[in-house]
Amino acid sequence: MPLLRWVLLCCGLLPLQLQACLLQMQAQHFPPRFIKQETEQGEVRWQGFNAELYHALARRLDCQAELLEIPWGRALQMLAEGELSMMSNASWNEERAAFAHFIGPVSMERTLVVGPVALQGKVTDLRQLTQVPGQISLMQGVYYGSDFAREVEQNPALQQRLAYVSTSQQKLELLLRGRVQLTFEDSLTLQQLYQQQVLDPHDFIALFTLHENPVYLLVSKAQFDPSQLAQLEAAWQQLVDDGTLAELKQRYFDTSP
């Protein structure tokens, strides 16, 4: 049975109305979009832009939102199979469009190639990645743009350098331990890592922009029929029109001092 439970009530001549539901959504520690916190009792709580956006969207549908900590690649498979309602920060591509609806765009995402300061000016574009010895850490299932996909397909030397991981923390740990020479990182996350002193900008910097594009909420076609999708799109538009989306962006994405 799908994890999203829609209960519909037919009232005479009135249209079917959404009466109760549970939205189960993928989450993963990825500041400032998802910030995982654990209480002294071991309870997990989620804050951040995407977490609050999820809950605001669910409230407008009179639904409950449940955030599930699932690696990105596995979550995509669950979404396609109807075992998960929704994901966030998803780039559009034809493969995903076969099993998911796209709501938004929610924001712009910029992926940076991050590496040692010593490589500044030496690695400035995609083709130069193979000139750097060592491996490159990146997330399994994440779309890094058509240029990168094409380069990987045509360049066996680059394929051999790629170290795929399932979580953002694993990707970062490989860089800090010297297990990889380069990593791909979201621009906002990189600023958070600097501010929290997880990374030192004197040691690691952004070498160039790998990919930039709008990102969306990814909604399971197996769980949402056209009527339910229309309700979801209307709720999303409310978040845009009443300023909720803009307020969350200002709170979490404003990196000015």
User: Higher pLDDT residue, 191 or 15?
Assistant: 191
**Is the pLDDT assigned to residue 132 strictly greater than 90?**
no
**Is the pLDDT assigned to residue 122 strictly greater than 80?**
yes
- Determine the Cα–Cα distance for residues 45 and 38; give it in Å rounded to an integer: 6
The lowest-confidence range among 16-30, 62-76, 81-95, 108-122 is: 16-30
109-213 folds as: D-Maltodextrin-Binding Protein; domain 2 (3.40.190)
Using DSSP bridges, classify how beta strands 162-165 and 136-139 pair: parallel, antiparallel or unpaired. parallel
**Is the pLDDT assigned to residue 56 strictly greater than 90?**
yes
7-107+214-253 folds as: D-Maltodextrin-Binding Protein; domain 2 (3.40.190)
- What pLDDT, on the 0 to 100 scale, is given for residue 20? 52
- Determine the Cα–Cα distance for residues 25 and 79; give it in Å rounded to an integer: 9
**Is the pLDDT assigned to residue 22 strictly greater than 80?**
yes
- Residue among 181, 147, 146 nearest 161 (CA): 181
**Is the pLDDT assigned to residue 9 strictly greater than 80?**
no
Tell me: the pLDDT tens digits for 64-75? 999 999 999 999
User: Higher pLDDT residue, 5 or 211?
Assistant: 211
Q: Give residue limits of the domains in the chain.
A: 7-107+214-253, 109-213
Tell me: the pLDDT tens digits for 180-194? 999 999 999 999 999
Q: How confident is the model at residue 10 (pLDDT cuts 50, 70, 90)?
A: very low
SS3 content of the chain, % helix, strand, coil (to 5): 35, 30, 35
Tell me: the pLDDT tens digits for 210-241? 999 999 999 999 999 899 999 999 999 999 99
- Residue among 11, 28, 103, 2 nearest 61 (CA): 103
Tell me: the pLDDT tens digits for 24-45? 999 999 889 999 998 888 889 9
Percentage, residues of the chain above pLDDT 90: 81
Cβ atoms of 91 and 48 closer than 8 Å: no
Mean pLDDT of the chain: 89
Same fold, 7-107+214-253 and 109-213: yes
